[in-house]
Chain A
Amino acid sequence: MKKVERETQDGVRKLGRRGLLLAGIQLGVVTTLALRLRSMQLEHAEEYRMLADGNSIKIRLLPPARGLIHDRNGLVIAGNEQNYRVTLTREEAGGEVEPVLRRLSRLIPISEARMAELLEEFSRRSAITPIVIADRLTWEQFGSIAVNAPALAGVTPESGLSRAYPRGGDLAHVMGYVGPVSDYDLSKIEDPDPVLMLPEFQLGKIGVEAKLEEVLRGRAGARRVEVNSAGREMRELGRQEGEQGATVQLTIDARLQNYAAQRMGSESAAAVVMDVQTGDLVTICSSPSFDPNKFVRGISGPDYRALMNHDHRPLADKTVQGVYPPGSTFKMVTLLAGLESGLINANSRFFCPGSTEVGGRRFHCWRRGGHGTMNAIQSLEQSCDVYYYELSQRIGIDRIGAMARRLGIGVRHELPMSAVAEGIAPDRDWKRQRYDQAWQIGDSLNASIGQGYVLASPLQLAVMTARIASGRAVAPRLVRAIDGVPQPIPEAAELGLDRTNLNLARAGMEAVMNGGQGTARRSRIEREEWRMAGKTGTSQVRNITAAERARGVVSNEQLPWNRRDHALFVCYAPYEAPRYAVSVVVEHGGGGSTAAAPIARDILLFALAGGLPPLDAVPSDQRAALEERHNAMQLYTPEPPKPGRTRA
């Protein structure tokens, strides 16, 4: 008991000592706080009061430089250029902007109309909002304003970066363009980056620029500045640089893209070049195009209306948004569906008398007189329609639809482009869902030759061709690398089609180009190592009435442009070891063999040769015309590679 008693006594004493020690420490801390308070509030109060009253420290965002876009060879296809502009703030101008504007107009041209527009804008906007008076000034103009700044109250010469597309219209549909941030844009973003609120900030509107906006935008920096009560900056207190957006490298070859654009000329057309092995879209070109730089600067009303009203629809991206009845280019799908079903083989023959009658309706072959007896290869070579009418009746639409989807038609391919169309690979279910109608046998006949309900985009046709050429489910890809990090090439699975069947379809396509009766024989490549395979297609955009037929079918040339047939062509080369698949659609171009095939062949040759198609690769009678055509082109010739890097 005594010991316990002593221990308690000890405990209490010790607690007392420690308690007092603790009290001392706590008092020390409290004293420190009190001294700090005294120092801030009594000794330095004046300084803080000044900072507070001058209202003082502001954060100014530094917009990040947008990431560059390169083509597959590292050529810049979307860059940033220094842009000198001048802004005016009404409050800093002393409330009266007109005299300042008049003085400014002696240094830079401001038209009377523009002056009125500006005055109207100043009266509308708040006094502290800086308004851009002039954009894209020359260095001389910019300098003269900077020198005269003291006499121009409220005028701020600014320099910033703005987007520039050095390739103009060549890549307009792929890359899209940037534009000012609209309220609508902001409403779509859940948690908008504050940098989007900057008056001059631009963000991607369509195409790659829009789809890869997050990657390209970068991270805003900030400056902490001290401003006086008038809002003028006194000094910079801190600065944190932003981070430029990532450099995106596309799979596009800018030179080939340029050649494709030039080759299509003023036609309303689309061309897609796809790497058969990797799925890289080397070219994806829609014609005619528009200058995306105009959109960056803010396109004028008349210019915009001209684009909108143009009957060739320059603003539409025909490569991925446009869908067309694929016509005879679809015949490989029907043929493969038939071969895979086991119901026909290479030697199965159908007789073509020029037409066939099904369910009281007559379906014509394109050759009125008929082709006679046809086997699989011949049916492709001569593009016999009746062969496919017969075939489709035996295998049914569901097999055809499934094969189309397997080859990439009627499925959406994931690409960072705007409005990628899905196309239509019809079957019974589809028609029931879409129209609530039963599938008719006539629908099958139409679908078997790529007419009727079937719709495919040029991109899908290129994918189809690449898949037939490689036998694998190649998927298109547009982004090659981000910030130097190569993007993975998705492993393309085997299509699971029988080798013999695929080889038969390929042989048929080869015969189209090189066979004695080949429909695209004129567009063949004469170099053995680049021997090509292809398929023509001509798709009707209107129904030929019986009356017309009775009068004799009118030739395309006699019809108004927008009622002529679409010309299509798909091809790949080299036949033995395929590298590139190409699809070309010429809207209302007439026949696939005459309008689309030569274009596709020349583009394919450019891809294979890595430069202008060598003239000896085309049939001798076309060489002069091709040379003349090349001479008329304004081709893009990028700076030759630096001497140090090439070997002599």
Chain B
Amino acid sequence: MAYLDYDVTRVPTGFRKILYLNWPLVFLLAAVACFGFLMLYSVAGGRAETWAEPQMYRFGAGMAAMFALAFVPMWFWRGVSIFAYVLCLLLLVAVELVGDIGMGAQRWIDLGPVRLQPSELMKIALVLMLAAYYDWLPLRRVSRPLWVLIPVALILLPTALVLKQPDLGTSIMLVAGGGILMFAAGVSLWYFGVVIGAVVGLVYAVLESRGTDWQLLKDYQYRRIDTFLDPSVDPLGAGYNITQAQIALGSGGWSGRGFMQGTQSRLNFLPEKQTDFIFTVLAEEFGFVGAISLLILYTLILGFCLYSALSNRDRFGALLTIGISGTFFVYFAINMGMVMGLLPVVGSPLPLVSYGGTAMMILLMGFGMVQSAHVHRPR
């Protein structure tokens, strides 16, 4: 059923749309960003111009983009989704060919004043593509094998390209975001069961085969897995960071050491304390109270998105909202799980808090589409 079949006369038009925005979501996003500004200010040793100020400008720009995108009608997003996806795919191929090496991986395309990171754009484009796909696909076909294979291919294609850069964090994000969308679209749980079972089985087989004649991987690859699973095996590498991060985090206690009083985070033990490890600074300086507050803010953002999606009768808009919020969820869950030592170390920022322009911009643009879905939902 196409969008225009709904009664659209009650959809707000023009500047009246601003009244129909999901305002709680706007305030929640701003609140999370404020946590980020505070922490960046603190990490820079009480200097705003190092990280906090640029971050504020970017947040401002991101907010503006969000509002602008929110005003764009939903059917536009549906119409461009396939083009956006193909364009991003081409950019990923281009970055493979001409991209600059940044931080040891090929991620950027330099376009003069703008540095384009196609893998970030892909996070949104993939969600758009899949939402449009499931909007178009008749419901009874959703779980048919052929119609399941298509979205799987749509997910794996960019993932493979991103993995080759190599950027494990973003690859995981793409797979998880796409998986969440497929889950929400109603793909039979059997598929998920089989995939999870297969992965668990494979991991089990790989680990079990170690030391036997039919060993599946080379010895050095196992040693790499060891480091991956237990960072203390590699005291000079990632393990050191994680140990120090946990000490910082744990030593925060109930109320923390106070703003700008963190001792662990102030020592330069973390190479990227303003990006991937910023949560430890928050947890050390504001303690359990501060950390749990941020977690609650994140949860509320998820909740408002989910509520908006479930109350949206337009399948595209609902799926888009779930997809974007799902990506957001994977973002912060991986980052927090990592610094708390629950997950292996994967480079992944804390959304809206970590220093970094592209990620924040893309995320806010994604929320712009969530807002658009909210504003233009059929009533």
Binding site for B on A (CB under 8 A): 4-5, 7-8, 10-12, 14-16, 18-23, 26-27, 29-30, 32-34, 36-38, 40-42, 44-45, 47-49, 51-53, 55-57, 59, 222-224, 237-240
Contacts and interface: CB of A to CB of B under 8 A. Distances in A.
A18 B318 CA distance: 12
B310 A48 contact: no
A333 B88 CA distance: 68
Contacts of A4: 1
9 contacts: A7-B1, A8-B1, A12-B315, A15-B318, A30-B298, A30-B333, A57-B244, A57-B247, A223-B235
Contact of B310 (A16, A33, A37, A41): A16
B251 A49 contact: yes
Interface string B225-241: 00000001111100110
Interface in B157-175: none
Nearest to B235: A224
B248 A52 contact: yes
B254 interface: yes
A47 B247 CA distance: 9
Contacts of B254: 41-42, 45
Nearest to A14: B186
Contact of B250 (A20, A26, A41): A41
Contacts of B288: 37-38, 41-42
A7 B329 contact: no
Interface string B172-208: 0000000010011110000000000000000000000
A41 B315 contact: no
A8 B378 CA distance: 13
A14 B291 contact: no
A168 to B, nearest CB: 38
Contacts of A57: 240, 243-244, 247
B60 interface: no
Chain A interface mostly: helix
A36 B340 contact: yes
B139 A224 contact: no
A2 to B, nearest CB: 12
A238 B233 contact: yes
Q: For B251, B303, B315, B326, which residue has the most chain A Cβ atoms within 10 angstroms?
A: B251
Interface residues of B, number: 55
A49 B298 CA distance: 27
B315 A11 contact: yes
B337 interface: yes
A22 B336 CA distance: 19
A18 B134 CA distance: 14
A55 B186 CA distance: 52
Contact of B235 (A12, A14, A48, A238): A238
A59 B318 CA distance: 51
B78 to A, nearest CB: 15
A160 B211 CA distance: 35
B306 to A, nearest CB: 5
Given A7-B139, A32-B342, A52-B248, A37 B235 contact: no
A224 B232 contact: yes
Contact of A49 (B138, B253, B302): B253
Contacts of A41: 249-250, 252-254, 283, 287-288, 291
B333 A29 contact: yes
Interface string B242-267: 01101111111110000000011001
A48 B247 contact: yes
Nearest to B140: A7
Given A15-B185, A23-B306, 15 more contacts: A18-B186, A19-B184, A22-B306, A23-B303, A30-B299, A33-B340, A40-B246, A41-B287, A45-B250, A47-B250, A222-B235, A223-B235, A237-B235, A238-B235, A240-B236
A55 B247 CA distance: 10
